[in-house]
């Protein structure tokens, strides 16, 4: 029984991944994804190659006698821990990010490299394309990030791990309590701050934190810690988009010229305390992922960071997981 297939084509700085995921009740979910820089993101919507790959996937579904569901997901940005400097070295650049303050370093955890962001030294990484001027089109959004929070001083008010344009798409962990912070806003630039319930806080252990947002701004947060069998909901909430659909991320919303950056580790250039802890592989999608798609990304991040094998992996092995890769480089 075919449970999973992935093909990848890489050329220059971009890549396209095409994946099948077998779901319950004989449904094969098909996903095509274009990985590219943030400035090129609008091209995701009109990519003929993506459409051809999705079409091919539905043909495969028909041959296998399975129903076909599909989606196209573009990546706003991602960072790969394998691209960090050596353990113990300072982090001046990481993929599309450059240090904008502090003195972040690389540490080892479980045999993998992690980016260490300290509130004591106000560490922050800023995306190289900032300051941004044009809105980024989305249809909801998803953040999947490997982190290890470390309790520390300077916990107010949100300690961002991922911060896009100050309040458009942000998730963080309060340094003092471990409670999760979320900000979802629109062109109104409302700067709302959601805090997870008092009994929903993150322990000081590595895991995968997920923010899933639909195109109305409603969201749910998930956490799967080091030894957790599955991701657990940490709460739900609603952003403040002024009653408008959540279909774009607006730099400088409501006339705020400082809110034009994408950051890791804090909401720079604001002066609030930075996130205190470790950050690993992080991926931000321009749409809401769910079901098998989301699980595959979460498990992929866990696996990359050498966290305990997902329970689903044993089932995939029994089913005969096939992985096909095709790479083409310029």
d(CA 285, CA 294): 11
On the question of pLDDT at 290 being above 80, the answer is: yes
Question: Within 13 A of 204's CA, how many CA atoms are on the CB side?
Answer: 9
pTM for this structure?
A: 0.78
- When pLDDT is cut at 50, 70 and 90, the band that residue 271 belongs to is confident
For the chain, give the mean pLDDT. 80
b/e 65-97 (16+ beta carbons within 10 angstroms → b): ebebbbbbbbbbbbbebeebeeeeeebeebbbb
Inter-residue contact 125 to 94 (CB < 8 Å): yes
Instruction: Read off the DSSP letter of residue 48.
Output: H
Ramachandran category for residue 310: left, alpha or beta (phi over 0 → left; psi -120 to 50 → alpha) = beta
Give the domain ranges of the chain.
77-285
Q: How many CB atoms lie within 10 A of CB 257?
A: 9
Inter-residue contact 184 to 236 (CB < 8 Å): no
CATH topology of domain 77-285: Jelly Rolls (2.60.120)
Q: pLDDT for 77-90, tens place per residue?
A: 999 999 999 999 99
- When pLDDT is cut at 50, 70 and 90, the band that residue 270 belongs to is confident
Residue reference for tokens 């990359």: 304
DSSP 151-168: --S---S--EEEEETTTT
Q: pLDDT for 111-163, tens place per residue?
A: 999 999 999 999 999 999 999 999 999 999 999 999 999 998 777 788 999 99
Q: How many CB atoms lie within 10 A of CB 243?
A: 9
Instruction: Read off the DSSP letter of residue 293.
Output: H
pLDDT at 308: 79
Q: Are strands 27-35 and 67-79 parallel, antiparallel or unpaired?
A: parallel
d(CA 267, CA 37): 21
d(CA 124, CA 266): 6
Question: Within 13 A of 60's CA, how many CA atoms are on the CB side?
Answer: 23
């Amino acid at each position: 029984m075919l449970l999973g297939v992935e093909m990848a084509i890489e050329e220059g700085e971009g890549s396209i991944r095409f994946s099948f995921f077998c779901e319950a009740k004989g449904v094969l979910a098909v996903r095509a994804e274009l990985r590219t820089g943030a400035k090129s993101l609008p091209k995701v919507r009109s990519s003929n190659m993506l459409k051809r790959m999705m079409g091919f996937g539905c043909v495969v579904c028909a041959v296998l006698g399975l129903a076909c569901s599909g989606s196209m997901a573009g990546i706003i940005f991602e960072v790969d821990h394998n691209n960090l400097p050596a353990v113990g070295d300072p982090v001046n650049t990481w993929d599309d990010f450059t240090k904008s303050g502090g003195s972040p370093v690389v540490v080892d955890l479980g045999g993998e490299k992690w980016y260490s962001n300290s509130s004591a030294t106000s560490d922050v990484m800023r995306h190289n394309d900032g300051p941004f001027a044009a809105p980024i089109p989305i249809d909801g959004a998803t953040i999947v990030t490997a982190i290890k929070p470390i309790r520390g001083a300077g916990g107010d008010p949100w300690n961002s791990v991922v911060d896009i344009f100050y309040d458009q798409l942000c998730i963080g962990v309060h340094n003092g309590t471990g409670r999760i912070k979320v900000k979802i806003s629109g062109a109104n630039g409302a700067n709302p701050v959601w805090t997870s319930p008092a009994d929903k806080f993150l322990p000081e252990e590595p895991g995968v934190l997920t923010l899933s947002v639909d195109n109305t701004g409603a969201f749910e947060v998930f956490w799967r810690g080091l030894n957790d069998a599955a991701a657990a909901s940490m709460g739900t909430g609603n952003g403040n988009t002024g009653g408008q659909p959540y279909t774009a991320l607006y730099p400088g919303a409501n006339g705020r010229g400082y809110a034009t950056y994408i950051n890791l580790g804090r909401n720079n250039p604001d002066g609030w305390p930075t996130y205190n802890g470790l950050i690993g592989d992080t991926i931000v999608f321009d749409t809401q992922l769910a079901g098998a798609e989301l699980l595959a990304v979460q498990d992929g991040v866990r696996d990359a960071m050498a966290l305990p094998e997902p329970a689903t992996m044993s089932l995939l092995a029994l089913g005969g997981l096939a992985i096909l890769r095709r790479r083409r480089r310029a």
